[in-house]
A and B are shown apart, each in its own frame.
Chain A
Amino acid sequence: MSNILVVAEHYNGKLKSSTFSSITFARQAGDVHIAVIGSNISDTADALKSYGAARIYKIDKPELEQYLAYEYSIAVTELAKSIDAEMVAMSTSTTAKDLMPVVATRLEAGMASDIIEYTDGKFKRSMYAGNAVATLEITTPKKVVSVLDTAFAKAEPADGESPIEDFQVDIPAGKAKWVAMEESASDRPELKEAEIIVSGGRGFKGPENLHLIESLADKLNAAIGWSRAAVDAGWATNDLQVGQTGKIVAPEMYVAIGISGAIQHQAGMKNSKVIVAINKDEEAPIFSLADYGMVADLFEVLPRMTEKIPDQS
C-alpha cells in the first residue's frame, strides 16, 4: 500500500479534533503516517500514538513555533519526499488552505481542496458554493488534498502504538515574519467542536440585541455562529462566520435565527444533523433546509425559548 502523510493540526500544541477526520480519510487511502510540526510538540505527537499510524514524525524546532507558509511547506515537503508519500492530506482549516497549495507546488502534485469523499482513486468535492458536487482524479504521481472534516467521521483509536521519530530537516528562514495573533477569546465551545450551534444574522438589527443569542447559547451550552452580514456589521469576529467562505460546520443541531439562508450561508451548515430556523419571513430560503421552525419575531421568541429550555450544561 502507498504511504499517506497526514499533517496533524494543532494550535499551540493542542490537537484539533479535525485531525482525526483526516486520519479516517487516510486509512481509506493507504498506510497512515502522521507529521506533527511545531515547537515543543512531544505531547501532541504522543496524543496521536494510538491511531494506527505506521509512524509519527515530529519536526520539533524553535523556528517552527509560529506557523508560516514557507517554513512549514519545506518541513512537510521534505518529509513527504523522504517517506515517498503518495499523498499528503490535512483537514480543512485556514492553515491547510494557506499551506497545502504550497506543498502541492513543491511536490509538483495535483491538489483537490476540501474533499468530501474518496473511492477507487476518485475524489468528490463541492463547487459553486455547494450547488454542485464534482468527481475528479488527480493525475500526478504525488497528490495533495485538504479533507473537509465534517464529511469524514473522527477516527477511533486502533490497536498498537505508533513509533514516534524525530525528523531532521534544515529550515531556511523565509521572507515572512510572524508578528502577532489577536485571538478571539471566548468561554464558549468552539464552533468546530460544538454539538449545538446557535447562529444569528442581520435579523438581530444591532449590537444591543446580541445578549438575546448569548443567553440562549448559555442555556444550550452552545457555540455561537454568525452570518456574513452580522460579521461585516462588526457584531462578531471573523472566525465566527459560517458559510462558503467562513467555517463549515455540521453539529447535532444548528439553530439559525434571523438568517435568510443565502446559498453562501447554506454551504457552511447544510450538513448539520438537525436544523432549526426562526425567521419572521416564511419565504426565507432557510426554511427549505430546516427540519423544525417558527415563522416568528425573534425578539418575542428568543426570550421565551431561553426561559423554557432546560439548562443543558
Chain B
Amino acid sequence: MKIIVTAKRVPDPEIKIKVKGDGTGIESHDISYKLNPFDEIAIEEAVRIKENAGGEVILLSIGPGDAQTEIRTGLAMGADRAIQIATDEYVEPSVAARIFKKVVDDESPDLVLMGKQAVDDDANQAGQMLACMLDWPQACFASEIKIEDGRATVKREVDKGIETIEVSIPAVITADLRLNEPRYPSLPMIMKAKKKKIDTISFSDIGIDTTERVKYLGLENPPERAGECKLFETVDELIGALKDEAGIIR
C-alpha cells in the first residue's frame, strides 16, 4: 500500500501565541514549531498500516524551508521519504488541496491520510477539498480505520456519537484525536531519518493555478472576559452568588 500523508508545520499548540501589534500576523519570536498534532496521528496510522501490510509512506508538506526539521520528525516516526513544496507564505486549504492533487496525480498512492484540521488556521477543509478534486471518497474525523479487500471501514467521530462508513480505495481519510497515540521516535530512527530523501519543489514551479479564494485582511486579539473571578470559601457562598447575583439558579 502506497500512502501519502500530509504534514504541516504549526506553532507549538502548548504555547500561547500573540497577535502582532499591527495586526499583520502573529509574533514569531519565542515561537517554537511542531508537526500539526493531527498530522502526527495520520503519520502514525500510515506507518502502522505499512508495518502490517507493507508499502511506502510519503510525507507531503507545504511550508518554509526550515520546516524540514518537522518533516524529519515525521520521517523518524517511520515515513520513507518526503516531498516539500517550499514557500514562506500562508497557503489556504483550497490552494493546498490543489497542490496535493497535483502530487497525488503524479504519485498515484492508494490512500491519502491527513489531519482533520491544522491547529493554526483551524479550517478543517483541505482533506474534504482534495477528495472532491480527485473524485475519491472521503472518510473524515477517523477514530478507527480497517483496510480489507480494497475497501476501508472507518469509524468517524461525529456530533451524535460514532458513525461507521465504508469507502472504496483509493480514498482520502482524515484523522481525529483518538485514532491512535503517535510514537516518540527512537534515537536510531532519528539517525536513520537524517538519510531519508526530501524532494523540494519551489512553489512557483508546481505549474498549477494557485490563485487564492480567500484574502486575510488582519488579525486582532480576541475580546477579553470582563472582570475578576470571585473566589468563595464555602459552597453556601457560591450557591448564594449564583442565585442572587448571577440569577442563574432558583
B207 within 8 A of A: no
Asked if B191 is at the interface of the complex by the 8 Å CB criterion, the answer is: no
Q: Within 8 Å CB of A137, what residues of B?
A: 214-215, 217
Q: What 1/0 flags go to A236-280 for Cβ under 8 Å of B?
A: 011100001101000011000000000110000010001111000
A94 to B117, CA, bound (A): 12
* Binary interface encoding of chain A residues 114-155 relative to chain B, with 1 for a CB under 8 A from any of its CBs, else 0: 100000001000111111111111111000000000000000
Interface size class of B (residues with CB under 8 A): 35 or more
B160:A136 contact, CB within 8 angstroms: no
**Which residue of the partner chain, among B120, B167, B242, contacts A175 with CB atoms under 8 Å?**
B167
A239-B157, A277-B229 known; A139+B213 contact, CB < 8 A:
yes
Say whether B249 contacts A132, CB under 8 Å.
no
A residues near B156, Cβ cutoff 8 Å: 94
B100 near A: Cβ within 8 Å? no
Check B145 for interface membership: any CB of A closer than 8 A.
no
Asked whether B221 is an interface residue with its Cβ less than 8 Å from the other chain, the reply is yes
Q: Is residue A112 within 8 Å, beta carbon to beta carbon, of the partner chain?
A: yes
> What string of 1s and 0s marks CB contacts (under 8 Å) between B150-176 and chain A?
000100111111111111100100001
Contact with A along B199-210 (1 / 0, CB 8 A): 000000000000
Which residues of B218-235 are within 8 A (CB) of A? 218-222, 225, 227, 229-233, 235
Which residues of the partner chain A approach B121 to less than 8 Å between Cβ atoms?
127
A312 to B164, CA, bound (A): 37
Distance (whole angstroms) from the CB of A199 to the closest CB of chain B: 15
Q: Is the CB of A69 within 8 A of B128?
A: yes
Tell me the complex Cα distance, A111–B212, Å.
11
What distance in Å separates the Cβ of B150 from its nearest Cβ neighbour in chain A? 11
Q: Which residues of A contact B242 (CB under 8 A)?
A: 253, 274, 276, 292
Segment of A22-30, A32-40, A82-90, A177-185 in the binding face: A177-185
Answer whether A310 and B250 are a contact pair too, CB < 8 Å, given A104-B129, A133-B221.
Answer: yes
- CB A192 to nearest CB in B, in angstroms, measures 8
Q: Is the CB of B129 within 8 A of A101?
A: yes
Question: Does any Cβ of A come within 8 Å of B241's Cβ?
Answer: yes
A30-B215 Cα distance, complex, nearest whole Å: 21
State whether the Cβ of B198 lies closer than 8 Å to any Cβ in chain A: no
How many A-B residue pairs have C-beta atoms within 8 angstroms? Tell me. 249
List of A residues within 8 angstroms of B123 by Cβ: 113
Contact A176 B238, beta carbon cutoff 8 Å: no
Does B67 lie at the interface of the complex (its beta carbon under 8 Å from any beta carbon of A)? no
With CB as the reference atom, state the residue of chain A lying closest to B170: A175
The answer to whether A94 and B159 touch across the interface, beta carbons within 8 angstroms, is: yes
Q: Which residues of B contact A110 (CB under 8 A)?
A: 94, 212-214
Contact B222 A133 (CB under 8 A): yes
Q: A127-B120, A293-B229 are in contact. Are A274 and B161 (CB under 8 A)?
A: no
A247–B160 alpha-carbon span in the complex (Å):
11
With known contacts A98-B138, A292-B230, A310–B249 Cβ distance under 8 A: yes
Residues of B within 8 A of A (CB): 11, 13, 16-19, 26, 93-94, 97, 116-117, 119-129, 131-133, 136-141, 143, 153, 156-168, 171, 176-178, 212-222, 225, 227, 229-233, 235-236, 238-239, 241-242, 246, 248-250
| 20 A/B residue pairs, CB under 8 Å, sorted by A | A94-B156, A101-B129, A105-B94, A110-B212, A132-B219, A137-B214, A138-B213, A176-B165, A176-B168, A178-B163, A238-B143, A253-B242, A275-B225, A289-B225, A290-B229, A291-B230, A292-B229, A294-B231, A308-B235, A308-B239
List residues of A whose CB falls within 8 A of some B CB: 11, 68-70, 73, 93-95, 97-102, 104-106, 108-114, 122, 126-140, 174-184, 192, 196, 220, 228, 231-232, 237-239, 244-245, 247, 252-253, 263-264, 270, 274-277, 287-295, 301, 304-305, 308-310, 312
Q: A11-B160, A110-B94, A175-B171 are in contact. List 11 more A-B contacts (CB 8 A).
A: A69-B131, A98-B141, A101-B126, A111-B93, A122-B217, A132-B17, A134-B218, A176-B139, A245-B177, A289-B229, A293-B232
